[in-house]
Structure 1
Amino acid sequence: LRIAGVMLLAMCGVLLMLWNPQLEQPWPQGIADWLALSAGMAFALNNLMIRKLRYEPILLKTQVTWAGCILVAGFAVLIRTEALPQVDVEVIGWAILLGIFGFAMSNLTLQYGVTHMRAQRSAVILLFELVVGGVSAALIAGEILSFREVIGGAIIVIAGYLVTLSMADDEEKNEQT
């Protein structure tokens, strides 16, 4: 029950960060929003599958994730209605290096972490991605963080802390019995 409450608190922080008061309804407004929503759902499903297959080798799970990304990206390229942009070879090279090293390292660490953590804990910790994304957008892209976004991020961090406290209490009780 405590974990459910903390998850609800974290989701309230997420909703606060993502809420756009100008919208009349909370539905995605365009193709980018729908793609972002589907990516989030795929990410969550990926984490559940990692957890379900926790006894399988991490390298196997990483390879399957890469294959899935390649298949989905290939399908997305095939169904595009607009032409692909012209890109310099140097940009393609940097993108490949980023994919190989950036995606590979993040995926391997994700696989390890999700495999070795309880699902509730990893779910709350992974919500911290929203905080990192918001701060990165401010620092790198010069976007302005609103008070609402800062408070939402703080709620997510607090939820992560509370789930850690709750799990420490549970572990302490188990050790005493």
Structure 2
Amino acid sequence: MTINQIFREGHQGLARVACLLGGAVWGLYWIPLRTLDSAGISGAWASALFNLIALVFIAPLILIRLRPWLAGGLQIQLTGATLGLTLLVYSTAFLYTDVVHAILLYYLTPIWGALFGRLWLKEKITPDQLVGIGFGIVGMMVILHIDEGFPWPRNIGDWMALSAGILWALGATMTRRFPEQHTLDIVSTWFLWCTIFAIIAGLLFQGPQSVPDLATTIPVVYWVVPIVVLIVIPTFIAITWGLPQLNPGTSGLLFMTEISVVTVSAAILTDEHIGVREILGVVLISLAGLAEVLLPRLRRVS
């Protein structure tokens, strides 16, 4: 098969690789964001810079595909806006809470994905999904300190991570609901709306005085551009292409690489506490994502 055929018709094996590597790359996404925050580009402006640079480099694709992009109408815009808001909320969460807490609260997506599939796509919630939902809820309670009272998120970062997981499940459901949408159109709309939302959020919540000046921005652009062009854009294209080809259980399993990468990288690069509670949360929420894949295989073996 040629590259064009693979891109147009899909390929199950490569779709799995795309989601596997995509999860691993997303697991390192917090590092440049925190570096930007330390350099004075904080909060939503860090996400705005990343996505604005991506939008500049992907703009030729929008122009080349302008007619089908416009023909996508409200569906493509809603999908892109949902994914764009997901990325903004997810990436900003790392700046306001512990890295491991952010990723674990985000990865309660099996719960929200099953619910959206039932409500919108009329998919039945299977017993295996119920087991996964159970693991996810218990994991969330552990991470949110149920032993100290009702398990509310502790801070704005926790709330953002939890919200990002819900938004990602909604966006993933939309890509399955509208499978005719072209990968490049979704990715370009994704970057566009994330940039718009990030600028609005920065102005509203951080104020006009928080806009990074050129003296702050120019020194970081030299290393942000290669990361965006060589890693971020290809990863987003790969994820958007591969995700609709896989069932939610398989894609959830493959994206679990993100939890491992985040946990290991946070343990090495930060002084955040990763103790028994966090490790137990990793195990429980990983089982939530794996349940739909592992339980059928265990039954076949037995």
Tell me which interval the TM-score lies in, with the shorter structure as reference length. Answer: 0.7 to 0.9
Aligned partners of 2:129 and 2:291 also within 8 Å: no
Residues 88 and 153 of structure 1: CA distance in aligned 2, closer, same or farther (over 3 Å): same
Match of 1:150 among 279, 286, 292: 279
Q: Is it true that 1:105 corresponds to 2:234 in the alignment?
A: yes
SS of alignment partner, residue 206 of structure 2: coil
Structure 1 stretch 65-74 or stretch 6-15: which is displaced more? 6-15
Structure 1 stretch 84-93 or stretch 47-56: which is displaced more? 84-93
Q: Is it true that 1:79 corresponds to 2:208 in the alignment?
A: no
Residues 8 and 22 of structure 1: CA distance in aligned 2, closer, same or farther (over 3 Å): closer
Paired with 1:40 and 1:154, the residues of 2 have a C-alpha distance of 18
Match of 1:89 among 202, 218, 228: 218
Structure 1 runs (4+) deviating above 6 angstroms are none
Residues 155 and 46 of structure 1: CA distance in aligned 2, closer, same or farther (over 3 Å): same
The two structures have a TM-score, normalised by structure 1, of 0.73
The two structures have a TM-score, normalised by structure 2, of 0.47
Gaps in structure 2 of 5+ consecutive residues: 1-125
Paired with 2:253 and 2:135, the residues of 1 have a C-alpha distance of 7
Aligned partners of 1:51 and 1:119 also within 8 Å: no
Which letter maps to 2:279?
A: V
Residues 37 and 156 of structure 1: CA distance in aligned 2, closer, same or farther (over 3 Å): closer
Residues 166 and 59 of structure 1: CA distance in aligned 2, closer, same or farther (over 3 Å): farther
Q: Is it true that 1:2 corresponds to 2:131 in the alignment?
A: no
Identity, in percent, stands at 23
Structure 1 stretch 150-159 or stretch 140-149: which is displaced more? 150-159
Q: Give the aligned length.
A: 171
Q: Which residue of 2 aligns with 1:67?
A: 192
Q: Which residue of 1 aligns with 2:113?
A: none
Aligned-pair RMSD on alpha carbons? Answer: 3.2
Post-superposition shift, 1:99?
3.1
Match of 1:36 among 161, 165, 172: 161
Residues 96 and 36 of structure 1: CA distance in aligned 2, closer, same or farther (over 3 Å): farther
Q: Which residue of 2 aligns with 1:55?
A: 180
Gaps in structure 1 of 5+ consecutive residues: 173-177
Post-superposition shift, 1:128?
5.2
Residues 41 and 32 of structure 1: CA distance in aligned 2, closer, same or farther (over 3 Å): same
Q: Is it true that 1:138 corresponds to 2:259 in the alignment?
A: no
Residues 131 and 70 of structure 1: CA distance in aligned 2, closer, same or farther (over 3 Å): same
SS of alignment partner, residue 80 of structure 1: helix
Q: Which residue of 2 aligns with 1:114?
A: 243
Paired with 2:147 and 2:234, the residues of 1 have a C-alpha distance of 38
